[in-house]
């Protein structure tokens, strides 16, 4: 009887490498058709080839765009985590006004804030300049702001402030008055794909990548993201970046 081929066995390190390679390959493969879907939906939304006269069709197109862009953000997040675990994620730093990064991040939650009547109070100096990979820090800020808005009660206020601290640190705090997080669960929220099994938090959508990516991007800059939270009181997320250049500084 001929010898049967035995399945290849991997050690833990081999499995990790195989998993990372698979996720990176799948992320690249998924982006190509998804970009086509988004691109064609954008053409239809702009009515480039002629008017769309049925209102329901225009609504469907916007739903396709919103869903496609949301899925693309998830795929990009998986790819970033995979590349970072391989030590291959490269930063492209430049000086940029922190307020402009925050404004760009806020734009992603504009519709939700308006629909739920959530107000903003932003206290960030216009001349505060940070040396960062602008796109990655914008995404980190967007994740923190999105969580604050998502878990805030209707009609409440989200506060965002930034200040220079000791040792050439800049701290950005995003504060909400939402459902909060139990102390023992705070560490778990930074694990990729983890969503807390809380009867309140289960009401909210999410991929479980926002906070892990925010901390990953901060740590790549030599900084961090920390949470302080109390159930029923709210949460303050603090993004700390170690390097800054203030306008007019020597």
Predicted local confidence at residue 122, as pLDDT: 94
* 74/110 same-domain check: no
Which CATH number fits the domain that encloses residue 188?
3.30.565.10
Q: Which structure tokens are listed for 52?
A: 């769309």
Has residue 4 been placed in a domain?
no
Predicted local confidence at residue 8, as pLDDT: 42
The whole-chain average pLDDT of the chain stands at 82
Note down the domain range covering 236: 93-246
* 104/198 same-domain check: yes
Nearest to 149 by CA among 186, 107, 189, 184: 107
Predicted local confidence at residue 248, as pLDDT: 42
Query: What crossing angle do the helices spanning 210-220 and 134-150 adopt, rounded to 10°?
Result: 150
Q: Which of 20, 52, 85 is the last residue of a domain?
A: 85
| Better-predicted residue by pLDDT, 15 or 215 | 215
Nearest-10 Cα torsion for 44, 49, 51, 56: -30
Predicted local confidence at residue 89, as pLDDT: 80
Has residue 29 been placed in a domain?
yes
Has residue 31 been placed in a domain?
yes
Has residue 1 been placed in a domain?
no
Q: What's the domain count of the chain? A: 2
CA–CA dist 217, 219 (Å, integer): 6
Has residue 69 been placed in a domain?
yes
Share of the chain above pLDDT 70, in %: 80
- Residue 188, pLDDT above cutoff 90: no
* 127/232 same-domain check: yes
| Better-predicted residue by pLDDT, 240 or 9 | 240
Q: Which structure tokens are listed for 222?
A: 């030599």
Has residue 99 been placed in a domain?
yes
Chain segment 87-145, per-residue pLDDT in tens: 778 889 999 999 999 999 998 888 888 889 999 999 998 888 899 999 999 999 999 99
Q: Which of 26, 61, 85 is the last residue of a domain?
A: 85
Predicted local confidence at residue 70, as pLDDT: 83
* 114/238 same-domain check: yes
The alpha carbon of residue 29 and the mean position of all alpha carbons in its chain are separated, in whole angstroms, by: 21
* 73/162 same-domain check: no
- Residue 15, pLDDT above cutoff 60: no
Measured distance between the N- and C-terminal CA atoms of the chain, rounded to whole angstroms: 81
Backbone angles phi, psi at 68, to 5 degrees: -65, -45
- Residue 58, pLDDT above cutoff 50: yes
Predicted local confidence at residue 101, as pLDDT: 94
Chain segment 194-246, per-residue pLDDT in tens: 655 444 444 555 557 888 889 999 999 999 999 998 888 899 999 999 866 55
CA–CA dist 56, 209 (Å, integer): 32
Q: Which of 34, 64, 85 is the last residue of a domain?
A: 85
Task: Outline where the chain has alpha helix (H).
Answer: 12-45, 55-85, 98-107, 110-116, 134-150, 210-220
């Amino acid at each position: 009887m001929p010898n049967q081929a035995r399945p290849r066995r991997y050690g833990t390190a081999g499995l990790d490498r195989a998993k990372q390679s698979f996720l990176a390959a799948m992320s690249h493969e998924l982006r190509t058709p998804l970009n086509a879907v988004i691109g064609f939906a954008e053409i239809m939304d702009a009515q480039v080839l002629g008017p769309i006269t049925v209102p329901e069709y225009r609504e469907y197109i916007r739903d396709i765009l919103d869903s496609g862009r949301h899925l693309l953000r998830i795929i990009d997040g998986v790819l970033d985590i995979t590349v970072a675990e391989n030590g291959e994620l490269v930063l492209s730093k430049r000086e940029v006004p922190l307020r402009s990064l925050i404004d760009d991040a806020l734009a992603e939650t504009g519709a939700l804030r308006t629909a739920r009547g959530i107000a903003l109070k932003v206290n960030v100096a216009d001349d505060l300049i940070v040396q960062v990979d602008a796109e990655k820090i914008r995404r980190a800020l967007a994740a923190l702001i999105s969580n604050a808005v998502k878990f805030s009660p209707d009609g409440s206020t989200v506060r965002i402030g930034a200040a220079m601290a000791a040792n050439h640190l800049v701290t950005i705090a995003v504060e909400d008055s939402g459902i909060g997080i139990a102390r023992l669960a705070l560490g778990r929220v930074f694990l990729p794909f983890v969503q807390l099994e809380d009867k309140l938090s289960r009401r909210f959508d999410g991929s479980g990548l926002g906070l892990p990516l925010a901390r990953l991007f901060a740590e790549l800059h030599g900084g961090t993201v920390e949470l302080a939270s109390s159930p029923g009181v709210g949460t303050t997320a603090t993004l700390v970046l170690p390097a800054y250049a203030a306008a007019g500084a020597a």
